[in-house]
């Protein structure tokens, strides 16, 4: 198992990328603040944020040194040290971490159910998935005192069954209806291979369709 370790130049502490936490050194135990992001295609991001900038690459087109790795069966650099065959090793999942409980949402399930109303530990969670752009995010379904249940309304929009409010799927803001102006809170999530997720979160639950 295996995932990137980073160090910081100021204290030389070692940090786990997936945990967002220092695991060795003077800052051991310190957690980084999580900044919500959206992993998607360039055209989709640009449509959402016309004023966006993009990092200069210095070359043209799509080049990824891991391209063959994504498609291969190999798991990380040293292979798997702990087997958990509830899912296939290289299955992509959206891993959701509430801080108290974790759940993996397999792409294979999200393909069929792109709006998933779930319960992760004590927290009601919504995962929204866009198969075309392989893009997915997680929110808390709590808004004020309410717990909401979402369904797909139209392209890129959601409607909650409790109030009928219309929401933007990937921005999480309410645009029309009784809750207009509200915004769903993002929950920490990562798009990650199953083998890495289950190693860091051996107790993870797995989302099953239609629950």
What residues numbered 6-65 form the site for another protein, per CB under 8 A?
Answer: 6-11, 14-19, 23-24, 27, 30-33, 35-43, 45-46, 48-65
User: Distance of alpha carbon 28 from its chain centroid, rounded?
Assistant: 25
**119: DSSP letter:** E
Binding flag, residue 81, another protein (CB under 8 A): yes
Residue of 211, 206, 157, 207 whose CA lies nearest to 180? 157
Shortest reach from residue 31's CB to another protein, in Å: 7
Q: Smallest distance from the beta carbon of 80 to another protein, in angstroms?
A: 10
| Candidate list 169, 174, 175, 203; residue touching another protein; CB under 8 A | 203
* Residue 92 binding another protein, by CB under 8 A: no
77 contacts another protein (rule: CB under 8 A): yes
Strand order in the sheet with 135-140: 115-120, 123-130, 135-140
Shortest distance in whole angstroms from residue 49 CB to another protein: 4
Q: Segment 141-180, which members bind another protein (CB under 8 A)?
A: none
CA distances from 70 to 26, 117, 180 (A): 35, 28, 40
What does the alpha-carbon distance between residue 192 and residue 111 come to, in Å, rounded to a whole number?
A: 16
Is residue 200 within the footprint of another protein (CB under 8 A)? yes
Could you tell me the smallest distance in angstroms from the CB atom of residue 96 to another protein? 11
Pairing of strands 157-160, 166-168: antiparallel
For 63, 64, 65, 73, 88, the CA distances from 68, given in Å and listed in that order, are: 11, 9, 8, 10, 18
**Binding window for another protein (CB under 8 A); candidates: 87-95, 137-145, 151-159, 196-204:** 196-204
The verdict on 185 binding another protein (CB under 8 A) reads: no
Q: Is 76 in the site for another protein (CB under 8 A)?
A: yes
The helix (H) or strand (E) run that includes residue 147 is strand 146-147
Q: Which is nearer to another protein, 18 or 177 (CB)?
A: 18
Q: Are 179 and 165 in contact (CB under 8 A)?
A: yes
Q: Which of 72, 202, 208, 209 binds another protein (CB under 8 A)?
A: 202
Query: Minimum distance between the CB of residue 9 and another protein, rounded to whole angstroms?
Result: 5
Residue with Cβ nearer another protein (23 or 166): 23
Nearest to 36 by CA among 57, 52, 20, 58: 20
């Amino acid at each position: 198992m295996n995932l990137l370790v980073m160090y910081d130049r100021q204290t030389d502490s070692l940090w786990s990328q997936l945990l967002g936490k220092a695991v060795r050194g003077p800052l051991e135990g310190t957690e980084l603040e999580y900044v919500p992001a959206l992993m998607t295609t360039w055209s989709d991001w640009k449509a959402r944020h016309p004023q966006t900038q993009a990092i200069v690459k210095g070359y043209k087109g799509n080049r990824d040194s891991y391209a063959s790795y994504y498609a291969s069966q190999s798991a990380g650099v040293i292979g798997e040290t702990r087997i958990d065959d509830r899912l296939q090793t290289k299955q992509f999942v959206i891993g959701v971490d509430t801080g108290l409980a974790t759940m993996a949402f397999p792409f294979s399930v999200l393909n069929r159910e792109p709006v998933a109303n779930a319960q992760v530990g004590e927290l009601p969670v919504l995962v929204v998935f866009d198969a075309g752009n392989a893009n997915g995010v997680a929110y808390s379904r709590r808004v004020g005192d309410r717990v909401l249940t979402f369904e797909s309304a139209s392209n890129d929009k959601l409607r909650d069954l409790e109030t009928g409010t219309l929401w933007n799927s990937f921005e999480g803001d309410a645009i029309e209806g009784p809750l207009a102006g509200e915004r769903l809170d993002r929950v920490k999530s990562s798009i990650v291979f199953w083998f890495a997720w289950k190693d860091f979160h051996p107790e993870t639950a797995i989302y099953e369709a239609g629950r």
